[in-house]
Amino acid sequence: MAVDYTTQAAGGIGDAVLRKEDRKFVTGEGRYVDDLKLPGMLHAAFVRSPFGHARITSIDAAAALALPGVHAVLTHESLPVETGVLSASNPGGDVRHPEQAILVKEIARYVGEPVAMVIADDRYLARDGADLVHVEYDPLPVVVDAEKALEAGAPLVHAEYDSNLVKTLEHHTDGFDDAMAKASKVIKLRVDNQRLTPSAMETRGCIGDWQDATGEVTLYTSTQVAHFVRTFVSIVCGTSEAKVRVVTPDVGGGFGAKLNTYREEFAVCAASHAVGRPVKWIEDRTEAGVATIHGRAQVQYYEVGVTDEGKIVALKFDAIQNNGAYNMLLTPSISHLTLFMVPGLYDIQDISIRIRQAFTNTTPTDAYRGAGRPEATHGIERLMDAIADELGIDAAEIRRRNFIKPEQFPYSSATGLIYDSGSYDENLDAALELSDYAGFEARRAESEAKGKYRGIGLSTYVEVCGLAPSAVTAALGIGAPGWEHSTVRLHPTGKATVITGTSPHGQGHATSWSQITQTELGIPFEDVEVIHGDTAFQPYGLGTYGSRSLAVGGIALYRSLGKVREKARELAAHLLECSVDDMEWTGTAWQVKGSPDRSKTIQELAYAGWTSASLPEGIEPVLEATTFHDPPNFTFPSGTHVCEVEIDPDTGRIEILKYTAVDDCGNVINPLIVDGQVHGGIIQGLGQALFEETVYAEDGQMLTPTFVEYLVPSAADVPEMTLSRTTTPSPSNPLGVKGIGEAGTIGASAAIVNAAVDALSGLGVRHIEMPMQPARIWNVIQEAKS
Amino acid sequence: MGETITVTVNGTAHTAEVEPRTLLVHFLREQLNLTGTHIGCDTSTCGCCTVHVDGDAVLSCSTLAIQCDGREVRTVEGLQSEDGTLHPIQQAFHENHGLQCGYCTPGMMMAAVGIIEQQPNATDDEIRAALEGNLCRCTGYQNIVASIRAAADQMARS
Ligand code: FES
Ligand code: FES
């Protein structure tokens, strides 16, 4: 269904209304953290370890301190903090959590780890000063590869442990061994889900402003999770949480990388405390390559037992997750999300999963768009093609034979989740039709006639979104809940302020939340202001990640709107002198049933609630309501993506000829925003499939810190996409929404790789690792031919 | 150590003292407080910092402020008309959902204006090729290309 975005729609739920956020961004009036200046503000630069593993023997700051304009050089000894970085993730309760000092204490464990901090009048001088800090290092043995890190005798990243094992996650069903023994065929596959650099266009940055007289500290930071940051700043910096305010200005993309609490955020607060002036730090891109978390980095070994008809009877998954040198906010939980989604959208009841997490001398990994779920989807979707290939069954048909059927919902997965709803055949049918799957062989022949290889690839996915029911996060060892907050406040003039605990950074919540408010409370779209990302205004907010904002935060809003509407009803009944039961809601007013002449608009009621001249018994003044909504379950968006590629055997270059995506994210609030999320998500998945890879040399050097080596797709590299939707509303929430922020990324990489493998299948190629850069493809072709 | 330069930015002449090493982007952002021009990399690869100097789209992160002495610079703040009417490229980005987080957007629009001026009838493929030096991590580019096409049509009509 193509949406005509140019017809400005009415502004309620379901309308493709244009975004109210846009104007400030297109006029250059966005306010990102680097745009802020505080009186007396100084600038920070970090001295970072050039070694993957080294003991610091001395730090000499004399030359830096002698430079005019340099105010201080802070190290572990002098930075006033109480503790190191904290992690909120401890699945099973026995995860190894080594100390991660804010500035390196004694031993640096990855390239880029911050060793010292230089505070100066401007950013140029801070950099000059950093270059003058002389640090002596005693290099130690390095391990960067997670599989090698778990071998006996590997260099230890943390000498206090007897191995580099962080944690082993396991899940086995009782019937697994029997089921596997009965399989008529067992197929094996190794898949390397490579390390990625999230690469939001705005790097991280923050300003700490510590008021000495009161102990109050304000932190401006580019984050997805202001409240987490506040809680942790108070603990790390040793001040009352009630004295910490975290302000999120406009955020230039996050993709999970800003779902964290970083050393630099604590350091600027502590440094401001130390020097008595505000301190700003803005990450440069080369720094971002090592100082901001990476994603993925999981090697998987699959073994699947199937019947002759291609029905999966047992699935074994053994993976190694590279956690990097330390655990960040959620590091140990990311591969836990992989664990949940190992069976994908297939009805597989016998399963055996082991995921071993390893420390290595690399930047820590954590949530990157999809966070553990793209890894599961990519692997199982490669596996489905391997099964299809082995049994000579069509790739679409093999999926169909294994799908969970609509009548099986709510469906209990072998990994303990309850899938809410879905219609996987419908997604597949729609995608096959839109992509003209049936007509593919003729197109393959056309390409062959030109000397090129053409292939078509499918990816059918389900994801777990709407993170998360708090009882579940607690059971999973995450030291944070999953609910979300909203407040709806009507002003005397009938305008509305919506305060949300979600923290948009491109997702358009101001627009979507205004649409929900218009539909549910009758306040026009343009009369709604949405406030987010400032801990001074919100009781608490869990933030934006895991495709949770609408499915959790949107429902929190929906419920507050309902509370305000009900309070307005009592007020209207009182003013119109009739019983509450006699009132009916028109969409914008309460009226006496069947009597449009006896009604009060929501604006009139907002005014009456404020003046409080005459309130019903027991009703407090002002139309305002707050909700903390804890979702009863996750949501389970799904979809089918189809990719068609052509490969030039002379260059190894893959051209994407056609990309079709059919997504089911439940009900849609704003189709324009949903399509935008899918577009961006697919291209991030495409980036992983074709170009992106974060590479370390054996000695721990980072080889891909900038956009010169780390290839983020450009407009010239990517195709026009064709999108469509199916809808199975989520029964877990009253809006029937599921979430769409990560779907594109989760679905895309497997569709593209499957297409490339299909293109080269005639040469006997059965698997290709990502990224499929031309050199790799060229080599695959040469090897297959020889 | 300072050099005195005079640069006309969005029609207003500014005389200021800068260090020889001061980049144009820092001069605009820090000294003139024109923070609409962004920085996304340190290798001249992302295009976030694109501005026009004497009518040509350039990377302000790879241009020294002193190189602009006596020249005319146009930034995103200079796109809309004085009465607040958006430039066709700004309007088109809004109408086609050509932005999400908005960080790449000023540079994208400045590059786009350059593309439209040089190739008013550019095809989608030509727009994509010309946009190669401007990265966006949010949109997947589809709506950016649509925005530029729409703005080109609009500018051709007017
Ligand atoms: S900031 Fe990236 S090209 Fe100028
Ligand atoms: S809109 Fe976010 S980088 Fe382009």
CB of A363 closer than 8 Å to CB of A193: no
Please state the φ and ψ torsions of residue A527, each to the nearest 5 degrees: -95, 10
Number of DSSP helices (H) and strands (E) in chain B, helices first: 5, 5
Same domain, A496 and A622: yes
Q: Is residue A306 part of a domain?
A: no
The C-alpha atoms of residue A677 and residue A743 are separated, in whole angstroms, by: 8
Best of B104, B144, B147, B148 to mutate for ligand 2, by most ligand atoms within 8 A of CB? B104
Q: Is residue A362 part of a domain?
A: no
User: For the segment A489-527, what is each residue's pLDDT rounded down to a tens digit?
Assistant: 999 999 999 999 999 999 999 999 999 999 999 999 999
Inter-chain CB proximity B137 and A284 less than 8 Å: no
Cis-peptide into A468, omega within 30 deg: yes
- Give residue A677's identity as a one-letter amino acid code: Q
Burial class (CB in 10 A: 0-12, 13-18, 19+), B155: middle
From A629, A649, A678, the end of a domain falls on A629
The secondary structure element, H or E, covering residue B107 is helix B105-118
Query: For ligand 1, what atom is nearest to the CA of residue B38?
Result: 1
pLDDT at A9: 47
Q: Is residue A218 part of a domain?
A: yes
Same domain, A743 and A662: yes
From A291, A316, A343, the end of a domain falls on A291
* Largest distance between two CA atoms of chain A: 90
Helix residue ranges per DSSP H, A238-281: 263-275
Same domain, A443 and A499: no
Q: Any CB–CB contact under 8 A between B111 and chain A?
A: no
Question: Domains of chain B, with CATH numbers?
Answer: 3-78 (3.10.20.30), 88-157 (1.10.150.120)
Q: Which of A734, A335, A15 has the alpha carbon at shortest distance from A5?
A: A15
- Please give the span between the terminal C-alpha atoms of chain A, in angstroms, as a whole number: 46
**Quick check: A755 pLDDT over 90?**
yes
Q: Is residue A349 part of a domain?
A: no
Q: Is residue A361 part of a domain?
A: no
Q: Any CB–CB contact under 8 A between A715 and chain B?
A: yes
Residues of B in contact with A30 (CB under 8 A): 36, 102-103
Same domain, A532 and A427: no
- Please give the span between the terminal C-alpha atoms of chain B, in angstroms, as a whole number: 48
What is the residue whose two structure tokens read 């699935």?
A315
**Quick check: A3 pLDDT over 70?**
no
pLDDT at B1: 62
Q: How many A-B residue pairs are in contact by the CB < 8 A criterion? A: 182
Same domain, A666 and A617: no
A680 → closest Cβ in B38, B106, B138: B138
CB of A206 closer than 8 Å to CB of A230: no
User: Is the Cβ atom of A680 under 6 angstroms away from ligand 2?
Assistant: no
- Give residue A99's identity as a one-letter amino acid code: E
The ranges of chain B with pLDDT < 70 are 1
pLDDT at A546: 87
To 5 degrees, how large is the angle CA B144–CA B145–CA B148? 85
Q: Which of B32, B20, B13 has the alpha carbon at shortest distance from B76?
A: B32
Query: For ligand 1, what atom is nearest to the CA of residue B135?
Result: 2
User: For the segment A258-286, what is each residue's pLDDT rounded down to a tens digit?
Assistant: 999 999 999 999 999 999 999 999 999 99
Same domain, A622 and A682: no
- Closest approach of A4 to chain B, Cα-based (Å): 9
Domain of A737? 367-467+633-785
The CATH number of whichever domain residue A271 belongs to comes to 3.90.1170.50
Same domain, A489 and A617: yes
Same domain, A523 and A612: yes
According to DSSP, the residues that pair with B86 across neighbouring strands are: none
Token pair belonging to A770: 């990502």
Work out the percent of chain A whose per-residue pLDDT is above 90.
97
User: For the segment A447-499, what is each residue's pLDDT rounded down to a tens digit?
Assistant: 999 999 999 999 999 999 998 899 999 988 998 999 999 999 999 999 999 99
Q: Which one-letter DSSP state was computed for residue A346?
A: B
Residues of B in contact with A255 (CB under 8 A): 137
According to DSSP, the residues that pair with A485 across neighbouring strands are: A628
How many whole angstroms from B50 Cα to the centroid of ligand 1? 7
The C-alpha atoms of residue B130 and residue B142 are separated, in whole angstroms, by: 14
Please state the φ and ψ torsions of residue A451, each to the nearest 5 degrees: 80, 20
Residues of A in contact with B142 (CB under 8 A): 679, 720-721
**Quick check: A7 pLDDT over 80?**
no
Q: Is residue A145 part of a domain?
A: no
CA-nearest residue of chain B to A249? B101
Q: Which of A728, A26, A207 has the alpha carbon at shortest distance from B98?
A: A26
From A576, A610, A629, the end of a domain falls on A629
Q: Is residue A333 part of a domain?
A: no
Select from B18, B80, B87, B97 the residue whose CB has the most chain A CBs within 10 Å, as the one to mutate to test that interface.
B97
CB of A258 closer than 8 Å to CB of A204: yes
State the pairing for strand pair A496-500/A528-531. parallel
User: Is the Cβ atom of A22 under 6 angstroms away from ligand 2?
Assistant: no
**Quick check: A1 pLDDT over 70?**
no
ipTM above 0.90, yes or no: yes
pLDDT at A396: 98
User: Is the Cβ atom of B100 under 6 angstroms away from ligand 2?
Assistant: yes
User: For the segment A388-442, what is each residue's pLDDT rounded down to a tens digit?
Assistant: 999 999 999 999 999 999 999 999 999 999 999 999 999 999 999 999 999 999 9
The C-alpha atoms of residue A489 and residue A500 are separated, in whole angstroms, by: 11
Inter-chain CB proximity A715 and B132 less than 8 Å: yes
Same domain, A120 and A267: yes
The CATH number of whichever domain residue A690 belongs to comes to 3.30.365.10
The secondary structure element, H or E, covering residue A399 is helix A395-402
pLDDT at B158: 82
Q: Any CB–CB contact under 8 A between B94 and chain A?
A: yes
Give the number of domains in chain A: 3
User: For the segment A343-398, what is each residue's pLDDT rounded down to a tens digit?
Assistant: 999 999 999 999 999 999 999 999 999 999 999 999 999 999 999 999 999 999 99
The C-alpha atoms of residue A310 and residue A439 are separated, in whole angstroms, by: 24
User: Is the Cβ atom of B99 under 6 angstroms away from ligand 2?
Assistant: yes
Same domain, A40 and A26: no
**Quick check: A8 pLDDT over 90?**
no
Same domain, A690 and A759: yes
User: For the segment A656-703, what is each residue's pLDDT rounded down to a tens digit?
Assistant: 999 999 999 999 999 999 999 999 999 999 999 999 999 999 999 999
How many whole angstroms from B89 Cα to the centroid of ligand 1? 21
CA distances A457 to A121, A384, A748, Å, are 55, 11, 10
Helix axes A373-391, A395-402, angle to 10 degrees: 110
Helix residue ranges per DSSP H, A368-492: 373-391, 395-402, 424-434, 440-449, 470-475
- Closest approach of B70 to chain A, Cα-based (Å): 24
Inter-chain CB proximity B143 and A679 less than 8 Å: yes
Binding-face residues of A in 296-355 toward B, CB within 8 A: none
Token pair belonging to A611: 């003046």
Same domain, A509 and A537: yes
A25 → closest Cβ in B102, B144, B145: B102
User: For the segment B32-52, what is each residue's pLDDT rounded down to a tens digit?
Assistant: 999 999 999 999 999 999 999
Q: Is residue A312 part of a domain?
A: no
Token pair belonging to A733: 């929430």
